Every structure is written in structure tokens, then in C-alpha cells.
Copies of this chain bind each other. A is one copy, B any other.
Amino acid sequence: MIQNMTENQITLHIIKTLKENKKKEFETILDELQPYDIAQIYEDLPEKHKTRFLIFMNVDRLADLIQELSKEDQLEVLNKLGIEKTGKVLDLMDNDDLALLLDDLSPEKIASLLSGMKKSESQAVQDIMNYPPETAGRLMTNRFVWIRDYYTVMDAVGKLKSFVEFAETINYLYVIDQDRKLVGVVSYRDLLIAEPNELIKNIMYERVISVTVTTDQEEVARLIERYDFLAIPVVSEENVLMGIATVDDIIDVVIQEANEDFEKISATGKSIDFETKAFVAAYRRLPWLILLLFIGILSGSIISGFEETLQKVVALAFFMPMIAGMTGNTGTQSLAVVVRGLVSNDLDKKAVFRLIMREFGVSLIIGLICGILIFLIAYFWQDNAILGAVVGVSLFLTLIIGTLAGTIIPLVLYRFKVDPAVASGPLITTLNDIFSLVTYFGIATMFIKHLM
């Protein structure tokens, strides 16, 4: 009955049921909605209706709702609910989401929130929060169904049925031995095709792809993407099954990592989004800009070193922005290729060598073409062949230097386990500014006699 309504119509409809205190009708509406939609509606709801909206919802639904809200709203909702109901709701939340919510709250706040929870659940959350950030341990949920290797297919399906409400995803059943070590996996499909009294150990995959609690989340994402898994088991160093990381969390990881690379290459400063306040955004962006300011002064002092040359041939200044700009850009281009390339490729010595040679080849080609082009332009514009040659040769050389810098610097950083993206656009650009100015004015000074 509501399936063809717009979100606004539904919201109005819900407000009506709240005003008229029609709990039944309210619930039939919510039955048809996805948690994300319910969250949207809650956020749009006039303040005065929010409390009753929450009261009308059962704890299961509250748990689903909360996972879709922003951190501020999450805490606001929990406050509205009061300690006791809060505990019930937190028990039902996926612990990875809960860990995220608790992250960087004050210890007191965390304690008070956990106090209302079941011992087992709150323990599980605290365990998760003990793993380093951006690892599989932080991502994993303990809401999965395990079975023992001696089960029959029938047993497995039985257990599945009884846990179906609890499990976050139920596409794979992970098989463990008496020491809770991961020994196999069976998918839903396998269960459906198999004979009811077939033994699990006979139909299970034994070569399980798994990650450990300390595996970096980027690596987890890479595996899930490669194998098109819907979930991947997370084990301890001793191969004891600790939890599973699910594909929906992985999509968030992929987006997050992409944004991080993006922020770094554009030196945006950490996580500035549409909601960030101006002061915060400025504070996060300033360090980079101030660093650039000083590097800019450095290039300035280099130029001042060539003041005489510049004094004699002011025309040299005309080509400065072009040479610096293009050198910086070719560097950023190479950097981008390397940084994003590392997302899906693992690098061995051979690959690195091939990549550097490739980029060297690229730089020769673009250097030659752009060098000749600018020679002609400078020649006809300033009617000075020597000047044209100086500019052309400089551009040729700086494009090669710039390209190699943009390739080698991130590779070296990567080799030393530093995120290559921190060699971000502006840094490469500015390094290349300096290279290019020295090269350009150096050559110009050599030929200064012929230039005048």
C-alpha cells in the first residue's frame, strides 16, 4: 500500500500515525521500509515527533536504525532511549558498527554505554576495539554461523535456521574443529545441492581463503574483490576463527581508501567533507599550504640566485610558469599511475623495473614533442632562436626529471612501507618546481651571452 509513495508522503503518513497514536499502522509501514530509509525519515522528522517515533520502535528495529545514523544522531538517539533500552539495542548492533560508534568517545562514556549490555556482547566489542585501526579485526563481526566438521548437511541447515535471525550474512557456513580452528567452508549453494545426510567434511572446501585479525583492511578488500566473496573469515594467528568481514563493510573500505588517496594527492588534509566546519577545514588544509609557502620561497631564492641573468633577459620570466607547471604536472601524472596502480597490483622487483623503464620511455616521447613545440613557439614569439633552444632543451630535460621523480619517489616510499600517496601532488609539484627552475636558469646562464 505504501510501495508507490514518495519518501515525503511516507514521512507525512508516519507523522499522522504518530499523532493519532496508531502503533499497529506505524509498524506495518516500517515493515516495508529499509533501515536506510527509516533513518532518512527519522532525520527529516520534526523534533517533537522524534521521541515517540523511537518509543514506537522495537529494539531490533532501533538497532538497525542506529547503524544508519551519523555519530551525533546515534548518541542523541541513545540518550533519548535511556540506559536500559540502550543496553538492549547495543546488544543487537553488529559489533563492528558498535566499535565504530564507541571509537574516540571518552572512557567514561564508553563504560556507561557498555554497562547496560550483556557481558558477552560488551566483551566482544571491547575485544574488537583492541585491534589496531584499519585492520580486519576492526572490520569483523561475530554475527556468523559456524558448524563442526562432523555435522551432516541436515544438522547444518538446522543450525542455520535457528541462527538465521542472528547472523549478519548467511551465505557461507564456516567449519571449525574441536579447537575452534577454521578447517573449511560450505556455501548455501553446496547445502542446497547436497544430500541431507551427507557429512559436511565431505562437501566442504578445505582450502579456505582467510585473513588474520591484523591484516590491513586494504588487503582484505583486495582479497574480497579478487575472489568475488560475500564475506571472508577472520582468524587469529593460531587459525582460530574470530569473526567474518562482510562485503558491505568492504565497499565502505574501498571508498574510504580511495578518498584517502585522493585527499593525499590533492593535499586536501584529512577527511574534510561537506559537513566540516570552516575553521576545522582551514586548520586541516593550512599545514600543507604553509609548507608550500616555504618551498615557494625556496624556489624564489633560487630565482634570486639568477637575478643577474633575469635582469639581462627578462623574457626568461615569461616561460617560467609554463616550464614549472608542465614539469609539476607530468610528475603528478606519473604519481597517480603509481598510487592507483598499487591498489590492485602487488609489486616485485621486475615489475618496478619495467614500470620505471616505461615511464622513462614516456618522458622521452613527451619531452621530445613538447620540447620541439615550445622551441618553435618561443622562436617565433620572441624571434630569438637561442632563447627558443634554451627553453626547448630545458623543457625536454625537466619533463624527464619530473616524470621520473613522480614515478620513483612514490615507489621508494612504498618500498619503505610509507603510503606512497603522501608524496602527494603538491610535494612532487614543488620538488619539480625547484628542479625545473635550476635546470632552466642554469642553461640560460650558460648561454647568456648569446641570449642578449
Contacts and interface: CB of A to CB of B under 8 A. Distances in A.
Contacts of A282: 361-362, 365-366
Contacts of A317: 303, 310, 317, 320
Nearest to A303: B318
A188 B167 CA distance: 12
A304 interface: yes
B297 A322 contact: yes
Interface of A: 2-3, 32-34, 36, 160-161, 164-165, 169-171, 188-189, 192-193, 205-209, 221, 224-228, 230, 247-248, 250-252, 254-255, 258-259, 261-263, 265-269, 272-274, 276-279, 281-282, 285-286, 288-290, 292-293, 295-297, 299-301, 303-304, 307, 310-311, 314-315, 317-326, 329-330, 332-333, 335-337, 339-341, 343-345, 351, 354-355, 358-359, 361-362, 365-366, 369-370, 373-374, 377, 381, 399, 425-426, 429-430, 433, 437
A38 to B, nearest CB: 11
A402 B325 CA distance: 16
Contacts of A304: 315, 318
Contacts of A290: 369-370, 373
Given A32-B206, A286-B366, A341-B273, A296 B268 contact: no
A23 B430 CA distance: 60
Contacts of A254: 251, 254-255, 258
A310 B310 CA distance: 10
A333 B267 contact: yes
Contacts of A266: 265, 332-333, 335-336, 425
Given A290-B373, A370-B290, A430-B325, A269 B333 contact: yes
Contacts of A366: 282, 285-286, 289
Given A299-B322, A314-B314, 18 more contacts: A32-B206, A34-B209, A247-B247, A247-B248, A262-B339, A263-B340, A266-B425, A278-B358, A278-B362, A282-B362, A289-B330, A289-B366, A293-B322, A293-B326, A296-B321, A299-B321, A300-B320, A300-B322
Contacts of A429: 325, 329
A193 B207 contact: no
B265 A355 contact: no
Contacts of A205: 32
Contacts of A228: 248
Nearest to A157: B192
B32 A330 contact: no
A358 B285 CA distance: 13
Contact of A193 (B164, B171, B248, B288): B164
B289 A192 contact: no
20 contacts: A32-B207, A36-B226, A171-B230, A224-B251, A225-B255, A230-B247, A258-B258, A262-B340, A267-B333, A268-B333, A273-B341, A274-B351, A278-B361, A285-B362, A293-B322, A295-B325, A297-B377, A303-B318, A329-B426, A332-B426
